[in-house]
């Protein structure tokens, strides 16, 4: 169990280095303190996962470091039971001149893992990191991806009672991100208490029972994941400038990072029965969306589509994995799904289409094309609102 009560962290600030030196030497001078975190309270039971979201500088990393005891709080307290593992700065405990194998023992000792236990875990760590050919080279010769794989494999080699994760899924290639998510899910299913900080709201939704939204160091919302994320997404949309339509058929955002590391991606997104005006008018009462993708492996991917109003209000999101269906194989690793909304019940307005490509389990987002298509819907009645719902009068 993890219990956080009125936790806060503040730092003294002075106008200049001279003022800081004067205060150190004389003890005189007024100290102004800047708060990084204030009044955070929550309880996380065994086997539960709490997602932490918020803008950059909201205090997320400060909170995780206080719980992991790499920072001392200015106020409040943290109570926890069991073994804690924190994934905060991957690779921070490695010595660049040591080999990967030496660093397993070196960093393991810093984590409090006895050498005898590390000998038992060594082979599993190397295999998970997929570094058999490079494990006896100095880590200063490793690429950033190799370093991340070794660090994550080491930190998660021992099942903890409490696991703290800070943006660990934002690094590494697609293949390794999937392995990370699967290991985190395995910990959760085994009863591990997890504190998960990420900008990937999809993974927060998938992994977390509750969510905590931090804003300027304070709790903005705490509760059921979907309720908190709905408010946070509204906040994010309000900050963003209106997005321009992306009609070139190219992705607006790629999750995969370097092109050479991509094992899967979206090839095209097409909306049928659109005219040539801007925004294009939907000339049919049926909305038909075709998504074509590729995967450089034998797995069967999944495809999802989201509809939003042009101002960012979400309408619906559907996926082949959620609907227990699969895309159609075209050969040569290419896949296609055709999604149809018959008799589209949306009232007149402008709408956007976003497409997503997932792995076979629906765990990892290989690529997303947010708002890649726009269309104008003209509903053949005068009703106002968002959508025409099935109804009856009596």
pLDDT at 321 over 70: yes
pLDDT band at 108 (very low <50, low <70, confident <90, very high): confident
Please report the pLDDT score of residue 244 as a whole number.
42
- The CATH class of the 259-377 domain is mainly beta
pLDDT at 366 over 90: no
Please report the pLDDT score of residue 253 as a whole number.
47
Q: Closest Cα partner for 339 from 314, 356, 358, 362?
A: 356
Q: Match 């895309």 to its residue by tokens.
A: 327
Which tokens hold the place of 159? 């099942």
Cα–Cα dist 301/295, whole Å: 7
Per CATH, domain 2-237 is 3.40.50.300? yes
Please report the pLDDT score of residue 245 as a whole number.
39
Average pLDDT over residues 18-23: 70
Please report the pLDDT score of residue 254 as a whole number.
46
Please report the pLDDT score of residue 125 as a whole number.
95
- 87 or 350, greater pLDDT: 350
Average pLDDT over residues 189-205: 89
- 207 or 239, greater pLDDT: 207
Cα–Cα dist 203/359, whole Å: 13
Average pLDDT over residues 365-382: 88
Cα–Cα dist 251/311, whole Å: 20
Please report the pLDDT score of residue 334 as a whole number.
95
Strand duo 162-166 + 264-271: pairing: unpaired
Please report the pLDDT score of residue 172 as a whole number.
62
Domain definitions of the chain by residue range: 2-237, 259-377
pLDDT band at 389 (very low <50, low <70, confident <90, very high): confident
Q: Check: CB of residue 184 under 8 Å from CB of residue 194.
A: yes
Give the global pTM: 0.72
Average pLDDT over residues 267-292: 93
E strand residue ranges, 125-240: 162-166, 193-197, 210-215, 218-224
Least confident of 17-31, 138-152, 168-182, 330-344: 17-31
Rounded to the nearest integer, the mean pLDDT of the chain is 86
DSSP 243-269: PPP--SSS-SB-SS-SGGG-SEEEEEE
Q: Closest Cα partner for 192 from 66, 46, 340?
A: 46
């Amino acid at each position: 169990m993890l219990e956080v009560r009125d936790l806060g962290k503040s730092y003294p600030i002075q106008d200049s280095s001279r003022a800081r030196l004067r205060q150190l030497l004389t003890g005189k001078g007024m100290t102004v303190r800047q708060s990084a975190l204030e009044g955070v309270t929550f309880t996380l039971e065994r086997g539960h996962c709490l997602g932490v979201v918020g803008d950059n500088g909201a205090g997320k990393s400060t909170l995780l470091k206080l719980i992991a005891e790499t920072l001392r709080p200015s106020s409040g307290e943290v109570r926890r039971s069991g073994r804690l593992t924190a994934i905060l700065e991957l690779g921070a405990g490695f010595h660049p001149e040591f080999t990967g194998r030496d660093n397993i023992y070196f960093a393991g000792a810093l984590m409090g893992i006895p050498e005898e236990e590390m000998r038992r875990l060594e082979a599993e760590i190397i295999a998970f990191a997929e570094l058999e050919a490079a494990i006896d080279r100095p880590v200063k010769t490793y690429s950033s991806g190799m370093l991340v794989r070794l660090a994550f494999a080491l930190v998660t080699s021992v099942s903890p009672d409490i696991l703290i994760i800070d943006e660990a899924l934002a690094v590494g290639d697609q293949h390794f991100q999937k392995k990370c998510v699967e290991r985190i899910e395995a910990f959760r299913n085994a009863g591990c208490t997890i504190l998960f900080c990420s900008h990937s709201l999809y993974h927060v939704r998938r992994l977390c029972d509750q969510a905590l939204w931090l804003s300027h160091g304070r709790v903005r919302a705490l509760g059921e994941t979907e309720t908190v994320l709905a408010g946070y997404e509204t906040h994010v949309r309000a900050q963003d400038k209106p997005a321009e339509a992306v009609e070139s058929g190219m992705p607006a955002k790629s999750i995969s990072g370097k092109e050479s590391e991509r094992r899967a991606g979206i090839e095209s997104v097409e909306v049928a029965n659109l005219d040539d005006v801007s925004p294009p008018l939907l000339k049919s009462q049926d909305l038909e969306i075709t998504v074509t993708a590729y995967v450089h492996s034998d797995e069967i991917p999944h495809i999802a589509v989201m509809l939003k109003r042009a101002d960012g209000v979400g309408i619906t999101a559907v996926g082949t994995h959620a609907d227990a269906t699969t895309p159609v194989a075209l050969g040569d690793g290419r896949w296609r799904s055709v999604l149809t909304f018959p008799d589209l019940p949306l009232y007149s307005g402008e709408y956007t289409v976003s497409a997503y490509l997932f792995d076979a389990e629906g765990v990892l987002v290989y690529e997303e094309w947010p708002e890649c298509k726009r269309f104008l819907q003209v509903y053949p009645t005068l009703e106002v609102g968002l959508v025409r719902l099935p109804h009856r009068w009596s």
